[in-house]
């Protein structure tokens, strides 16, 4: 299997016939999940829907009774929702990393996974926005952000960058999808009328002309550049929600890059899991190959090491000083109440993956998917550890409060809503993959040295010119 | 509750009328003042003549005028501006604090709150393991470099000319960023409907003078899902009265005053602010954070009372 178009001596020049064969074959493979949904798929979607609807009911209770149905109180005034928000923003960064950074740095192997990364980015950032509204005491006044918005507030910065990133990510998902939608439009003629109509509208009249390819590729190149500062700013601004306060544990100049590094690490792990699941569920072994898992494994090692570096800065430097209130917080993390969680997260979510993935055997699909699962779960708990212990270690002592104010353990309502948000992200990814090809045909074929642009326009750029 | 709402809407419609009338005529003032002295009369159907700003005479039912206080309704604009010429300040003499907690109770009564919601807290402090513990009353510090107002995304909490930090609970979106930003945990959240709502307004000793005027300054309109906190009782200041925490303290621990006049008082003793904090080595809590609180502490030296542990556990239930 040739895995890059530029791999040198063993580059086998395909005949036009072979190219057409390849194209037809991959077209069939990517459309198969759109044609049929198996029993497992139906159960999966049904289960996600149940979790999601239950979470909506929990939110209804919260709207009716107020935030008292959560475990948050005056000291732990931010809790599960906010940590979940950071988690979603974090994993949404991977869209920019995979599709843009790798593209700009001339890697080729990433191409079949760009769409997986982008749909994770879009759904995660969408639910990040929703979960922050869930956290608001007065969601009915959300428009005040626009009527009375203060540009000096990091929350307003967050609103601006999150919405911009959502729109840009949607475009970044949509642009390279155009030939895919056209494929659906042309091949899925047995689908219901409304669905065919959607394909027709969304395809924007795509017919693979030179001009269309040119516009699309240029648009992608522009978004590719735009999305990098945007991605870095969404997570930096999210970090600033904490770093702009005076609280011990958040009052850190390291927070921006620390969050960004953690985000790339967690997002990459998410993509590995998604690759593994789609590969199995949609029989994409031929396109999501072991090469991809191997490369993603190497990338994850690199990102774990960078994250470890920022963790050293974040914890070791203040721990050296053990200053006042921050010292108490660190003691509680290292040896106190939060120690089991803290060390599990650091070891299973960062140290161990970085070491294990150094071995090629660990970078095979099954082991790496398991390792990535650990990374993602640890990443979620890491965000919890970034929020809750700090809230409960203020400068002023917590006294004369009901027992449940001095601790924080999320209520069932919070857990149900957060579970629903996670289910919502998975639901969007799943439903998307049932309506659109989850791997990009033209980008995958480019890896094999097949340019669809040339195939679509044989008369304007003859095949012989290249041979 | 139902009755209260009705009351509110009446009040609000009158507020509108008050705005319309603008500066009332002398006659109007007089009628107002006279009616003020009475308790709420039944809807008598009696008409009262008042003059509007543009000089027209109008007849209104006397019961409509009942809620209005002559000193004027404080509009949102005025509440955001602050009291002209004042720089409000508080001094807390830790040598006098005996953990009587009367400041807490007075504050709760004044603002119709009940435990465990406290806008002023009394905490047991100990600066070093070997040093003696002491009690410290802690209201909102109304910082001059307030971390809370900086982060508010909708300008619901703001800093006024007179130094006071207030909250417009009709604008607050409940994001609680200000609570996370406040390093002193001075802010409280209304986690539910009637969260920590205390006795009815009419039972409060200052009810008539403060609750009739339902502006931002009275902090009585806080609703579910918004943030509240100590407001330095600026509605009382407008009436030339001291905050309830100050007047309720049996030991004269809290002093309130105006830095422009350079004077603070606990109702009995009056001091020059500058001399007091100079001679008694006044300090501000966590000065190193740079928030520049408007509340000074006098160190707990030569105390009036020996330190005693509090045998009672307070606020054990929600």
- Per-residue model confidence as pLDDT tens digits over B158-199: 999 999 999 999 999 999 999 999 999 999 999 998 888 876
pLDDT for A116 beyond 90: yes
The mean pLDDT value for A427-453 works out to 89
Nearest to A148 among B138, B155, B289 (CB): B155
The percent of residues above 90 in pLDDT, for chain B, comes to: 57
Range from A165-169, A209-213, A328-332, B57-61 carrying the lowest mean pLDDT: B57-61
pLDDT for B8 beyond 60: no
Query: Which residues of A fall within a CB distance of 8 Å from B150?
Result: 152-153, 244
Three-state SS at A87: helix
pLDDT for A463 beyond 60: no
Spatial distance between the Cα atoms of B15 and B275, rounded to a whole number of angstroms: 43
The mean pLDDT value for A241-255 works out to 94
pLDDT for B3 beyond 80: no
Structure confidence at residue B294 (pLDDT): 97
The 10s digit of each residue's pLDDT in A8-43 is 445 567 788 888 888 888 888 889 998 888 899 999
B173–A78: do the CB atoms touch at under 8 Å? Answer: no
B183–A245: do the CB atoms touch at under 8 Å? Answer: yes
Nearest to A138 among B147, B181, B225 (CB): B225
Query: Which residues of B fall within a CB distance of 8 Å from A142?
Result: 173
The 10s digit of each residue's pLDDT in A55-95 is 999 999 999 999 999 999 999 999 999 999 999 999 999 88
The 10s digit of each residue's pLDDT in B89-110 is 999 999 999 999 999 999 998 8
Please report, in angstroms and rounded to a whole number, the separation of the first and last CA atoms in chain A: 20
Tell me the backbone φ, ψ of residue B51, rounded to 5 degrees: -105, 135
pLDDT band at A219 (very low <50, low <70, confident <90, very high): very high
Q: Domain residues of chain B, as ranges? A: 2-73, 77-298
Average pLDDT taken over every residue of chain A:
91
The 10s digit of each residue's pLDDT in A397-409 is 999 999 999 999 9
Three-state SS at A407: coil
pLDDT for B222 beyond 80: no
pLDDT band at A240 (very low <50, low <70, confident <90, very high): very high
Listing DSSP states for A35-50 in one string gives: H---HHHHHHHHHHHH
In this structure, are strands B88-93 and B295-298 parallel, antiparallel, or unpaired?
Answer: parallel
The mean pLDDT value for A92-105 works out to 84
The percent of residues above 70 in pLDDT, for chain B, comes to: 76
pLDDT for A353 beyond 70: yes
Structure confidence at residue B27 (pLDDT): 41
Structure confidence at residue B72 (pLDDT): 57
pLDDT for A167 beyond 50: yes
A148–B192: do the CB atoms touch at under 8 Å? Answer: no
pLDDT for A456 beyond 70: yes
Residue of B nearest to A406 (CA): B316
Domain B77-298 has CATH 3.30.70.20: yes
pLDDT for A413 beyond 70: yes
pLDDT for B31 beyond 60: no
pLDDT for B40 beyond 90: no
pLDDT for B315 beyond 60: yes
Average pLDDT taken over every residue of chain B:
82
A138–B192: do the CB atoms touch at under 8 Å? Answer: no
The 10s digit of each residue's pLDDT in B254-264 is 999 999 999 99
Residues B209 and B217: beta-carbon distance below 8 Å:
no
Range from A59-63, A105-109, A376-380 carrying the lowest mean pLDDT: A105-109
3-state secondary structure chain B: CHHHHHHHHHHHHHHHHHHHHCCCCHHHHHHHHHHHHCCCCCCCCCEEEEECCCCCEEEEEHHHHCCCCCCCCCCHHHHHHCCCCCCEEEEEECCCCCCCCHHHHHHHHHCCECCCCCCCEEEEECCCCCCCCEEEEECCCCCCCCHHHHHCCCCCEEECCCCCEEECCCCCCCCCHHHHHCCCCCCEECCCCCCCECCCHHHCCCHHHHCCCCCHHHCCCCCCCCEECCCCCHHHHHCCCCCHHHHHCCCCCEEEEECCCCEEECCCCEEEHHHHHHHCCCECCCHHHCCCCCEEEECCCCCCCCCCCCCCCCCCCC
Structure confidence at residue B63 (pLDDT): 62
The mean pLDDT value for A415-422 works out to 97
Torsion, Cα B97 B98 B104 B105, to 10 degrees, reads: -130
Residue of B nearest to A241 (CA): B177
Structure confidence at residue B211 (pLDDT): 44
Query: Which residues of B fall within a CB distance of 8 Å from A65?
Result: 192-193
B151–A246: do the CB atoms touch at under 8 Å? Answer: no
Interface-testing mutation among A59, A141, A160, A237, with chain B (most B C-beta atoms within 10 A) = A141
Query: Which residues of A fall within a CB distance of 8 Å from B192?
Result: 65-68
pLDDT for B14 beyond 50: no
The 10s digit of each residue's pLDDT in B266-292 is 999 999 999 999 999 999 999 999 999
- Distance to chain B for A321, nearest Cα, Å: 17
Nearest to B176 among A77, A147, A405 (CB): A77
pLDDT band at B44 (very low <50, low <70, confident <90, very high): low
A155–B151: do the CB atoms touch at under 8 Å? Answer: yes
pLDDT for A251 beyond 90: yes
At what angle are helices A255-281 and A80-92 packed, to 10 degrees?
70
* CB neighbour list of residue A66: distance below 8 Å, 6 or more residues apart: A137, B190, B191, B192, B193, B195, B224, B225
Tell me, what's the ipTM? 0.90
In this structure, are strands B227-228 and B165-167 parallel, antiparallel, or unpaired?
Answer: unpaired
pLDDT for B57 beyond 50: yes
pLDDT for B201 beyond 60: no
Residues A440 and A29: beta-carbon distance below 8 Å:
no
The 10s digit of each residue's pLDDT in B109-160 is 888 888 899 999 999 999 999 999 999 999 999 999 999 999 999 999 999 9
The mean pLDDT value for A130-155 works out to 95
pLDDT band at B21 (very low <50, low <70, confident <90, very high): very low
For A283, which DSSP code?
Answer: T
Structure confidence at residue A13 (pLDDT): 73
Query: Which residues of B fall within a CB distance of 8 Å from A244?
Result: 150-151, 181
A141–B191: do the CB atoms touch at under 8 Å? Answer: no
The mean pLDDT value for A126-154 works out to 95
Comparison of pLDDT for B43 and A197, the residue scoring more: A197
Nearest to A395 among B116, B183, B226 (CB): B183
Structure confidence at residue A453 (pLDDT): 81
B315–A401: do the CB atoms touch at under 8 Å? Answer: yes
Class of the CATH domain delimited by A15-395+402-455: mainly alpha
pLDDT for B25 beyond 50: no
Query: Which residues of B fall within a CB distance of 8 Å from A404?
Result: 318
pLDDT band at A104 (very low <50, low <70, confident <90, very high): confident
A399–B155: do the CB atoms touch at under 8 Å? Answer: no
B156–A156: do the CB atoms touch at under 8 Å? Answer: no
pLDDT for A123 beyond 60: yes
Residue of B nearest to A394 (CA): B183
């Amino acid at each position: 299997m040739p895995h890059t178009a530029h791999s040198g001596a063993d580059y086998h020049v395909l005949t036009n016939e072979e190219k057409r064969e390849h194209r037809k074959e991959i077209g069939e493979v990517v459309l198969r999940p759109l044609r049929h949904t198996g029993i497992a798929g139906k159960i999966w979607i049904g289960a996600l829907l149940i979790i999601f609807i239950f979470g909506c009911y929990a939110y209804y209770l919260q709207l009716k009774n107020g935030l008292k149905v959560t475990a948050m109180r005056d000291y732990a005034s931010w809790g599960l929702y906010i940590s979940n928000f950071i988690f979603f923003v974090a994993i949404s960064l991977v869209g920019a990393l995979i599709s843009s950074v790798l593209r700009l740095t001339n890697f080729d192997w990433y191409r079949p996974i760009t769409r997986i990364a982008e749909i994770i980015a879009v759904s995660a950032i969408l639910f990040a926005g929703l979960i922050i509204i869930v956290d608001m005491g007065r969601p009915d006044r959300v428009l005040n952000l626009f009527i009375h918005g203060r540009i000096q507030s990091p929350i307003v910065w967050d609103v601006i960058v999150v919405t911009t990133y959502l729109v840009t990510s949607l475009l970044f998902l949509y642009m390279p999808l155009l030939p895919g939608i056209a494929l659906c439009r042309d091949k899925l003629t047995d689908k219901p009328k409304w669905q065919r109509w959607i394909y027709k509208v969304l395809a924007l009249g795509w017919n693979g002309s030179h001009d269309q390819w040119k516009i699309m590729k240029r648009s992608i190149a522009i978004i590719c550049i735009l999305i990098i500062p945007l991605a870095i700013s969404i997570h930096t601004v999210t970090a600033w929600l904490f770093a702009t306060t005076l609280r011990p544990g958040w009052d850190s100049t390291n927070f921006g890059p620390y969050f960004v590094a953690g985000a790339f690490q967690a997002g990459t792990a998410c993509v590995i899991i998604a690759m593994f699941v789609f590969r199995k569920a949609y029989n994409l072994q031929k396109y999501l190959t072991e090469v991809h898992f191997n490369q993603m494994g190497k990338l994850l090692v690199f990102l774990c090491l960078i994250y470890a570096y920022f963790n050293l800065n974040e914890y070791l430097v203040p721990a050296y000083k053990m200053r006042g209130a921050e010292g108490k917080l660190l003691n509680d993390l290292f040896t106190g109440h939060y120690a089991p969680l803290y060390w599990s997260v650091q070891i299973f979510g960062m140290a161990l993956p970085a070491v294990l993935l150094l071995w090629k055997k660990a970078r095979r699909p099954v082991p790496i998917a398991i390792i990535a699962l650990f990374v993602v779960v640890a990443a979620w708990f890491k965000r919890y550890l970034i929020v809750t212990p700090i809230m409960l270690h203020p400068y002023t002592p917590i006294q004369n409060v009901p027992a449940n104010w001095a601790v924080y353990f999320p209520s069932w309502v919070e857990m149900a809503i957060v579970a629903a948000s996670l289910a919502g992200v998975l639901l969007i990814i799943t439903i998307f993959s049932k309506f659109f090809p989850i791997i990009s045909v033209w980008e995958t074929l480019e890896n094999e040295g097949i340019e669809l642009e040339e195939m679509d326009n044989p008369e304007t750029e003859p095949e012989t010119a290249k041979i | 509750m139902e009755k209260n709402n009705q009351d509110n809407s009446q009040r609000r419609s009158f507020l509108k009328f008050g705005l319309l009338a603008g500066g009332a005529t002398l006659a109007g003032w007089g009628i107002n003042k006279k009616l003020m002295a009475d308790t709420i009369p039944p809807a008598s159907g009696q008409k009262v003549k008042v003059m509007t700003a543009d000089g027209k005479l109008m007849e209104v039912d006397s019961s409509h005028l009942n809620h209005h206080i002559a000193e004027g309704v404080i509009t949102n604009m005025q509440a955001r501006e602050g009291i002209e010429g004042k720089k409000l300040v508080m001094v807390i003499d830790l040598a006098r604090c005996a953990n009587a907690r009367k400041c807490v109770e007075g504050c709760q009564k004044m603002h119709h709150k009940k435990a465990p919601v406290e806008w002023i807290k009394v905490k047991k402090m100990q600066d070093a393991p070997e040093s003696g513990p002491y009690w410290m009353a802690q209201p909102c510090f109304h910082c001059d470099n307030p971390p809370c107002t900086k982060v508010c995304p909708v300008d619901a909490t703001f800093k006024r000319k007179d130094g006071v930090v207030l909250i417009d609970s009709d604008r607050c979106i409940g994001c609680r960023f200000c609570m996370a930003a406040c390093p002193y945990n001075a802010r409280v959240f209304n986690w539910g409907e009637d969260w920590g709502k205390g006795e009815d307004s009419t039972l409060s000793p200052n009810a008539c003078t403060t609750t009739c005027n339902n502006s931002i300054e009275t902090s009585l309109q806080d609703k579910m899902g918004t943030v509240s906190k100590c407001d330095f009782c600026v509605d009382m200041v407008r009436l030339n009265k001291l905050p309830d925490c100050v007047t309720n303290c049996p030991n004269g621990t809290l002093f309130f005053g105006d830095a422009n006049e350079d004077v603070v008082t606990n109702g009995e003793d009056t001091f020059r602010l500058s001399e007091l904090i100079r001679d008694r080595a006044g300090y501000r809590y966590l000065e190193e954070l740079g928030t520049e609180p408007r509340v000074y502490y006098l160190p707990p030296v030569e105390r009036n009372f020996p330190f005693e542990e509090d045998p009672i556990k307070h606020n054990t239930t929600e």
